[in-house]
Structure 1
Amino acid sequence: MKRREFLKTSIAASAAILSTTTLSAGETRQPIDNRKVSDMAFPQKRPLITYSDRPPLLESPRSTFARGITQNDEFFVRWHLPDIPTHIDTDSYTIKIDGLVEQDLEISLKELKNDFEQVEVTAVLQCGGNSRSAFTPIPGGIQWGSGAMGCAKWKGVRLSDLLNRAGLKKDAHWIGFNGLEKAAYYKTPNFVRELELTELDDHVIVAYQMNGEDLPYLNGFPLRLVLPGYYSDSWVKMLSNITVTDKYKSLFFMDMAYRVPDNKCECETPEHHFKPTKPITNMNVKSVIGYPENGMKVYHNSHVVVRGVAFDDGHGIREVLVSVDGGKTWDKAELKQENGRYAYTEFRYAYKPADYGKVTFMTKAVNRLGDEQPFAKDIGWNHGGYKYNGIDEVTVEVV
């Protein structure tokens, strides 16, 4: 058989297989949860689940989510481009504001901290591709488990105060943000994000501190944009430039990446990608169990306290429900809400295992709008692997 004929035959056979397999429609399941923490640690970090060192891609383990605030050294790391500065001189570092403003500004870190009102907001930072490993067939991108997220207390200055200092011209409508990460290949576009002025409020800040300390280097030192309620692709790290424009600019990371189908289910099939698409912005409602972890053994008739966190885009969590019978019945967990509407809501659920063998804990969060987590199987597939928020499951063995 000639090579061309072989290829034609192979393609036809593959098409026939795809037409009969259920995977051709796209499926979702529980994210992969068996990856091991690395033996080595990056600077300012404890050992985490490591996908890459250039650019750094680090995932927090499940145990991280038994607490409402994520410690700096266990906070996940996601960079897009491999060329990150190895040294930053904080004495000479400035953030530039230009474009459709009354006066161009270059604000030093010292001026940022001394000349503007200092504010703090506690907010969840989550990668739009968090839990991407739940999608089958596998979408392109990092195959995260559930640990590409964290919650911290961010301190800085309001973005609106910086823009007011520069003065916005009447045609100002869009704001572009750029940081210091660069591509290894000169034709690769910079990671630039744009937002409409109407998307901003007083919770949007330029932060220099995280949980009372300078931002960790791998989490955007010395400055990063903080957009509570939004996925992390808009939280530009090592923020260096803010440019105000009258029109939206065509950008790769806005027009091609971090987008989902613009339909009700935000879904499509692997064979037929839906168009048009829309950028991912607001996070959907989600909960994750931090304790116990998959595969743990617990004692019969002991007192097990299931702990975890829940969040949405800022509307607030109304309740977290727990099931131990496959979702047939649900009980309310006890909630702890003390860090504001953009933060994790901690939950606890006491359980006394009366039978031996395996038991699966399932959790689903419901926000104040009534939105609730769906079962994994009910989430539509999308080719970017974005916005997964299926009911979380952890299986332990009662001994």
Structure 2
Amino acid sequence: MSTPDQTTHAPTAGFDDEAVLLIGHGSRREKSNEQVRELAADLESQLGIPVDAAFLELAEPAIDEAFAQLAPVASQVTVVHCSLFAASHVKNDVPLAIEQARAEHDLEINNGAHLGVHPAILDLLDDRAATVERELGVDREDDDVAVVVCGRGSSDPDANGDVHKLARLLYEGREFDRVEASFIGVTEPTLEDTLHGLSKHRPDAVVVLPYMLGDGVLTQRVRDWTAEFDEDYPYVDALAGDPLGTDSRLLDVFADRWEEARTDSVEMSCDTCKYKVDLEGYEEDVGGARAMLRALAHQEAHADRDEIDEEPDSHDAPEKHVAVCTNQTCAKMGSPAVLERLRQEVRDSEHCDARITRSSCLGRCGDGPMVAVYPDGIWYGGVEDDDAERIVGDHLDRDRIVSELVDQTL
């Protein structure tokens, strides 16, 4: 909800049937999911148009379900991300879901940018740090206060780089002794290593800021590790603050991203995107098709998670993931029948551990119907429904590639 110093964004004329879809990650902790729904309700009040919430995993509704619910009542939907940085969810998973929704519904869909580095978020983090300082009884102007901004961690260097940028901007112009970036997992430096490194400087206090939206499993892990550090190093007072939560300042960021998306002014960090340019150590990630397949596999991995306290990005997934292109050209060539036949063959198989899903265009128009088997990276072309039995029986069951159907390999 707006405060006197906030900018209120009003809908532009001509968008009476516009809606917003606020997409969160999803958590097994319902409190975290409710925070996303609360943000959606508050954003609806601020924008004056309907705002629904959807989730990538672990909560309902899923993105495809949310689009199906909006299709009868809206002609234009603008996607606003709860993702803090642009990693695979923003660059792959949500765009894939949007392409599927465009193919299935008569909707104009605008895709916004992630929350990113924004002045309102810096102001919010500064306040979170000040709250912890008060609890510890220290003052950054008189005491040596170190701050650790702890992100989730990603396999995307662009997203990890933004955590470091955020930490640096939080340090600039403020009286902190130092501000460090760290991660809960996936990449380095880890929070544990950062805390132990800070102990050598003997600050009066260490403030740890979980850079996460919801109060979920990883946020609790930040608190636990900070408490262990505080106990191990009695000469340093350490305490973790709260995540971003539902602070009203986030609404300004969401509103800015909404306005950018509906006016075609979204700016993404394409110059440092590992899916678009060669970056040292990430060369194999370049390429839209490869990225799309990773997104499909990641979605299925998320769907099969059943451990609440697992490491980030540690998933139980089907052994195989099969994507069938159901875009316009392949659909005319019979891909819906191929999709259903593959699903039936998998259901009838006693040994097959595979998930069959539809996909948007695989970029091989005219060579379809296209079927991609992941993680093998085998693409079959010109597939007919009668070929489903061989694909399942030979490839999925016995790892024997159906060579005469192979279109390309990745």
In the superposition, the TM-score normalised over structure 2's length comes to: 0.24
Q: Which has the higher contact order (CA 8 A, sep 6+)?
A: 1
More helix by share: 2
TM-score normalised to structure 1 length: 0.24
